[in-house]
Chains A and B, each alone.
Chain A
Amino acid sequence: MPFACLFIPDFPVQAVVRQEPELRGKPVAILEGAAPLTRVSAANGAARVLGIEVGMTKLQAEACAGVERRWRSLSQEATAQAALLDCAWAISPRIEEAGVGGDGCTPGTVLLDITGCEKLFGSEEKIADDLRRITAEIGLDANVGIAANPEAAVCAARGFAGITLIPPGEEVNILGRLPLLSLGVPVEILETLHRWGIHTCGEFAALPEIAVIERLGQAGQHWERLSRGSDPRPMLAKDFPTHFEECMELEFAVDLLEQLLFVLNRLLDQLCLRLRMHILATTEIKVTLTLQAEDSRRKEPVLHIRTLRLPMPVAQSKMLLKLLQLDLQARPPNAPVTAVHVLAIPTRSRTRQLGLFLPLSPEPEALEVTLARLQGTVGEDRVGAPELLDSHRPDAFRQRRFVLPEATLRISFGERPSRTALRIYRPPMAADVQLQDKCPVIVSCGGGRKPVLAFAGPTRTNGDWWSETPWAREEWDVLLPALRPKFQAENAGSEQAEKALYRIYRDLHSKRWFVEGVYD
């Protein structure tokens, strides 16, 4: 039962180079982390020759002349990994995202069960060649290892450059040259082996098995067998499919939204049908639009990817289409579309029993469409539910995605003391304030000049002094003849309507005054 392993050395670098082919063959270092703590997280061989080391700071990396520096892109890596899986699936239906020593999975490593594939693709050498060729087509340089058991194949691919075929029975000889590190032996065992003077797989393999078990236990036996290439572990084949995809290559590039929606409608119909057959729905739809490349020499596809994450499972194509329409209206592709790819992450359908005595809340689907409409109009980060932040900065909050709360009875008003509410003007209204004995006496705002009838304050706050955006302000609560009588007219008597309590503040950095809001 032969196995093949595809391994992409310096995977983070290759994932980037794949998107920028002009970097091929050049020394490249990948940077990661927010400034000023940026570090080199990966580098290719050419960069290492020029002195780049993983862990260097950006400044140190810049000192190595001739090295191209790029930021790490997890999405590019994920795409590259997906593409790698596709390459593997092109040869075998049984594949595994393999890891070091079978422990977890490492991006850039894929194991294939190629039993029976020779009937389709030819000899093992041919399969290895095909694998390298296909991966080269998607822009990745791979090592390929083929062996009779999974771990030997993984070790061969990780340990040797190019294609390595290990004939059955030759595992010890071939893998024996590899350092133990390439096996991924746990540190504690590795330390013991180093103390014993054992540094290569061959040396490890030469130790008597029972003696090793006596000393290192079952784990030792496992790793020793691995070093011999003789640990036949079962392959943990990747479920197929784990997600639902539909795609369509378009004969002619589409540049109108209506035409694109027509295509999307068909794809979504198919997708939702398949989901419903499995009594599943989706909470995530990823639409990848392949755009017409402006530069015809460019091999890499230009993609326009939109992902919709839904708060509840959906299996109605019409609703999904509406949401996509709103999304694409807000962010249309900037070039004609040549291919459409839709991917749905499946989940269980929604079941919900409404409470007899609970107030009716909006239909989640309808609410979602409304929120999407609002986002399209005012911007994505301006719709949601506010959440107070742990900060002294006035009005510090963040927007969280609005989700209908679980249906529960409301807390009675009696439990919380009533508070005066401040209606905040967004943005605050610029004002001029005249002071007397350091206290406000006249507030001029929006063309009106109002005397201060009473005041309280000041309140001083400042903070974030270490950051690029420190703040410092002085606030006053002032009673003025109303600046905007219409706010008061609705719920106040005619006498009160003439006055209102405002919060004004002075930004101590810009020295400017603002009216921040009015108290109810």
Chain B
Amino acid sequence: MKYVELHSSSAFSFLEGASLPEELAETAAKVGMPAMALLDRDGVYGCPRFHTAAKSCKVRALIGAEISVADLGHQARPPAWMPHKAPLRPVRLALLAKDRTGYQNLCRLITRYKLRETEKGTGTATLQEVAEFSKGLVCLSGGEEGVLASALIHGGIEKARGRLEQLITLFGKRNVYVEVQRHFDPLEEQRNQAAVQLAKGLGLPLLATNGVRYAQAKDREILDVFTCIRNHCQLATAGRLLQKNDERHLRSPEEMAEIFCDLPEAVANTELLDSRLKYTLADLGYQFPLYPIPAGETMDSFLRKRTLEGVQNRYGSKNDEQLFAKATKQVEKELQLIGKLKLAGYFLIVWDMVRFCREQSILVQGRGSAANSAVCYSLGITAVDPVGMELLFERFLSEERDDWPDIDLDLPSGDQREKVIQHVYEHYGELGAAMTANVITYRGRSASREVGKVLGFDADNLDRLSSLVGQFEWRGPDDTWQTYFEHAGFDTNHGLIRKYLHLCDRIQDLPRHLGQHSGGMVICQGQLDSVVPLEPATMPGRVVVQWDKDDCANLGIVKVDLLGLGMMAVLEECLELVPKHYHVPIDLAQLPPDDRTVYETLRRADTVGMFQVESRAQMASLPRNAPDKFYDLVVQVAIIRPGPIVGNMMNPYMRRRQGKEPVQYAHPSLEPILKRTLGVPLFQEQLLRMAMVAASFSGGEAEDLRRAMGFKRSESRMKQIEIKLREGMARNGIDARTQEEIIVQITSFARYGFPESHAASFALIAYASAYLKCHYLAAFTAALLNNQPMGFYSPATLVKDAQRHGLRVKPIDILHSDWLCTLENARGKDGEELRHLRMGFRYVRGLHEKAAEAIVLARAQQPFSSVSELVLRVPELQKSELVTLSEIGALNSLGKGVHRRSALWQVERAARPAGPLLDTLGEEEADISPLLRMSNEERLVADFHGSGMTTGPHPMLYCRAALAAMNIQRACDLAKVADGEYTRVAGCVIARQRPGTAKGFVFLSLEDETGIANIIVNPDLYQRYRLLINREKFLRVEGILQNQDHVLSIKATRVLTVRISAAETESHDYH
């Protein structure tokens, strides 16, 4: 006998299912089910993953959902005489899609009520809406959550009959099935008996299901944990909310036949119904929108015109005939392929978005593989010339590929990007475009916290534990749950703790809720809501689809990534600040390409704040790479990546770059491909070309190879391609040893490789940021500070770095600061024009933007002369804000001799109305402060507490004399220490890193008043000083100085605490 499970939910029912769709599909295949339906709560969240997994398991994935309906009463609950905590929840209708119409109706129905939701997960459909969208759908009477159970408990058999008749009216008699489930529960059996009786009476077919909530019986524990999380209770007190037993798992046809031996037709009907359910996600019916074109044009002709105009503009201006001819040829080739693949609409839509940005003066740049396309370059979508840089078009688009090309647009983060997103919404309608989702899953900390709560751990213990759970990339043998618990002082031999460990591990990667992807947008011809349900995002004005970007890509839905890039916002702000304060025009497209200062600075690794080249690892490799032209920067951006590091490409490249090793090629035919990177493959395009040249792969085949070896690699597919690769190379006369070498190069690198086009796009931004920092430090720093958080360093470090480069940074001042950081022009001693940076109110912790705006507005009318006047004229300012402003010294300019404490003294009085009796006291008398000025240490603590930084001296400076007496070197003096010499440094920890590629080594950056010292801590030492290294804000480190190719670092042998300041300095840790 065959059996098809037609009512199951996955973990995408968010806390009401315990297994991933993949596990369900695999288990269904294992127990011999030819098909299976997934019906998650109020959505089709898990369907794409279920569809893909089921396809590979050769199980037909049927699609449906459980729909909450308001007009059908509440779900059955335990009787009133029984103690329970079951909340009132609306009945859910189990619906299955028969055909595409059914699926589209299901999506529209869900979208309709989801978009009405004011609180996540509370939306319900009305019966009228169900009637409107009932075509093509099959309705099941449901299990305990369903309409039959509810009617039976609330009104008996007559009410149940009435409900079924209602369903018949809604869906038609052929499309209503009376569901029977058996979980060995007598109450459920009573329902089943009633259901059999009703089905017989109404002539409806019976349908056996198991109401599956998890793949295997053991997963019931996870469902119980989820139930507690959902109901905010603990396992010990959840009572009847928990599962009664563990029977809601996938059962084999034989088991179901045995359980329903008295109702064989109920099992047989599953097969019959399956044969009626023709719909799977393979038939999604998605269409990318058409671009509106003028009469007499086709989209292809319109695209051709726009592209050729672009070729003229972009290549014509370069006065290089050869390049122009080459570009025209390439564009022609690309246009032909685009026409063949019917992608003209897609290019035009992206072109339209870019055009909108230009019109609105929003900086935009395409990145990713789109930069390989001359059409994209000509249309102004990308800024890298793929013809000039000889980039490989096939990496972007090829005939063999069955997916859509990927165009990502970088936009300034913040309001500008939002403007573009809203433009797309407006353009394609509320139901025509939406953001892709981001599934938030349980990770280390969230898992430990939630499971701990459920098991009854108190808040204190949970805090202690979650602070110890590692967040870094690299996980050593000690980075286990067991170790975390032991460090938190728990006895891991205790039964409850063992259970805790086990559960934390098991709920990893299970979905928790749906978030919004940072930039992926999907657009659809006509109605997107008929392709996938839409729901409101937490952010007002945003709509998200129920699938994440991978799901969309797998189902062939075109996505345009509108990514917010902090550095783009910085560049955009610089475009405004530089002409205003430096009185020189600036055009990012026209920056001098080979600026000496920029390359010297890069070679010195003096790159704090610069895009992509500021990290610790980048700094450590810059002096070795010693870039002196743009392509070196492209390599630099790409080389500090897991791919080249894991593939052991970085060191050979650096040695060859420094002339320490000859440039060699695995095969002479590879020389033209690898020449630019000194014989070392660094980019994905090179890998593709290697396959094309060495094994005569076509462009599409080569791209296939890259994807097969990519992130989600499949062993069997890799083997097939490897055989093909070897065959191709053998045909080309490449010997076995060389073949092996080439294969090793390709396989070790393919996984993490970086496209050259992408590196080039990033390198352009990196160069622009370096240029601006070198030549317009004040403007660049102000823009950088105004667009935090971004980059690698905290604002405090950025300020100190700018100060070390000679910029005067002025503190926040009530009479001079704006919300953002600003530039103040001044004259130097010799009359030269200087620019000072004035910190903005956005750095005052807890100060609302509205209050800051009110200050600026009131100040513009007339400056404030006293604290009481400030309080009087800016009523928006709350007392806590005034206190913080006083503490950080922002009110010191309000009168002579005012210091932070005296301002505090005045604020306390001004913010509290004194009443008529004390009002008569003279202002002066009352305002004489008896408080002492803050000490240096108190000022530091107040600065960091109130603004996260100090514009005054670095905390280390105050202790320098004492530190010098202890023989502790300054960071700037390390260059004078000989390689291999034992030395000591101390500083404020500004970064802790444990990269995945560094085998457990930890890298610390210690900042003092002169610069940053780099510390390397080996894994053993880290284990010994783990608490100290992770918790202390200031450290003293002793060890051997390494000076390799002017890269300075200290290999720590001892780590100690050092008492410098209690200031709350920040560190950028384990990112």
Contacts and interface: CB of A to CB of B under 8 A. Distances in A.
A35 B495 CA distance: 10
Interface stretch (A70-78, A95-103, A208-216, A269-277): A208-216
Interface in A103-149: none
Contacts of A59: 489-491
B887 A461 contact: no
Contact of A216 (B239, B245, B908): B908
B790 interface: no
A390 B84 contact: yes
A448 interface: no
A458 B189 CA distance: 11
A389 B905 contact: no
A124 B111 CA distance: 82
Nearest to A210: B918
A79 to B, nearest CB: 28
Interface string B454-487: 0111101100000000000000000000000000
A207 B244 contact: no
A60 interface: yes
Interface residues of A, number: 44
Nearest to B490: A36
Nearest to A477: B186
17 contacts: A36-B491, A39-B460, A195-B887, A197-B931, A216-B908, A390-B82, A390-B85, A390-B239, A392-B239, A392-B242, A460-B183, A460-B185, A460-B247, A461-B245, A462-B245, A466-B221, A466-B235
Given A197-B901, A197-B931, A390-B240, A217 B490 contact: no
A457 B183 CA distance: 11
A466 B83 contact: no
A211 B930 contact: yes
A215 B912 contact: yes
B931 A196 contact: yes
B232 interface: no
Interface in A194-231: 195-198, 206-208, 210-211, 213-217
A35 B494 contact: yes
A390 B921 contact: no
Nearest to B461: A37
B883 A211 contact: no
A211 B909 contact: yes
Contacts of B490: 36, 57, 59
Chain B facing A: main interface SS: loop
B246 interface: yes
A389 B239 contact: yes
Nearest to B488: A57
Contacts of B235: 466
Nearest to A465: B221
Given A211-B930, A460-B245, A460-B247, A196 B905 contact: yes
A459 B931 contact: no
B83 A389 contact: yes
A207 B841 CA distance: 32
Contacts of A445: none
A208 B905 CA distance: 12
Interface in A437-496: 456-463, 465-468, 472, 474
B930 A207 contact: yes
Interface string A336-379: 00000000000000000000000000000000000000000000
Chain A facing B: main interface SS: mixed
B83 A36 contact: no
A173 interface: no
B918 A391 contact: no
A435 to B, nearest CB: 14
B938 interface: yes
Nearest to A57: B489
A420 to B, nearest CB: 11
A57 B455 CA distance: 17
Interface of B: 81-85, 183-186, 221, 224, 235-237, 239-240, 242-247, 455-458, 460-461, 488-491, 494-497, 499, 883, 887, 901, 904-905, 908-909, 912, 914, 918, 921, 926, 930-932, 934, 938
A472 B221 CA distance: 14
B914 A36 contact: no
A459 B184 contact: yes
Given A57-B490, A388-B82, A392-B242, A215 B931 contact: no
A434 interface: no
Contact of B938 (A57, A197, A392): A197
Given A36-B497, A195-B883, A196-B905, A210 B85 contact: no
B224 to A, nearest CB: 8
Contacts of B245: 392, 460-463, 472
B460 A196 contact: no
A142 to B, nearest CB: 31
Nearest to B245: A460
The 4 closest A-B pairs by CB, nearest first: A390-B239, A57-B489, A215-B908, A460-B184
Contacts of B244: 392, 461, 463
B912 A214 contact: yes
A192 interface: yes
Contacts of A389: 83, 239
Interface centre among A206, A391, A474 (most CB of B within 10 A): A391
A214 B918 contact: yes
Contacts of B499: 466
A447 to B, nearest CB: 30
Contacts of A186: none
A196 B904 contact: yes
A465 B455 CA distance: 12
A457 B259 CA distance: 11
A167 interface: no
Interface centre among A195, A215, A392, A468 (most CB of B within 10 A): A195
Contacts of A457: 184
Given A196-B901, A458-B184, A463 B242 contact: yes
Nearest to A198: B931
Contacts of B938: 197
A61 B912 CA distance: 47
Contacts of A468: 495
Contacts of A459: 184-186
A56 interface: yes
B457 A37 contact: yes
A213 B909 CA distance: 9
B491 to A, nearest CB: 6
A102 B247 CA distance: 60
Nearest to A462: B245
Contact of A217 (B497, B912, B931): B912
A55 interface: yes
A463 B243 CA distance: 8
B802 to A, nearest CB: 29
A467 B234 CA distance: 12
A392 B240 contact: yes
Contacts of B489: 56-60
Contacts of A39: 460
B239 A391 contact: yes
A118 to B, nearest CB: 40
A215 B938 CA distance: 22
A458 B188 CA distance: 12
Contacts of B488: 57
A458 B489 CA distance: 45
Given A36-B490, A210-B921, A214-B926, A195 B904 contact: yes
Nearest to B247: A460
A50 B934 CA distance: 35
Given A388-B83, A390-B237, A466-B499, 12 more contacts: A59-B490, A60-B489, A192-B908, A196-B904, A197-B931, A198-B931, A215-B905, A390-B84, A390-B240, A460-B183, A460-B247, A465-B221
A211 B926 contact: yes
A167 B908 CA distance: 35
A59 B493 CA distance: 12
Contacts of A198: 931
A378 to B, nearest CB: 26
A392 B908 CA distance: 59
A466 B455 contact: yes
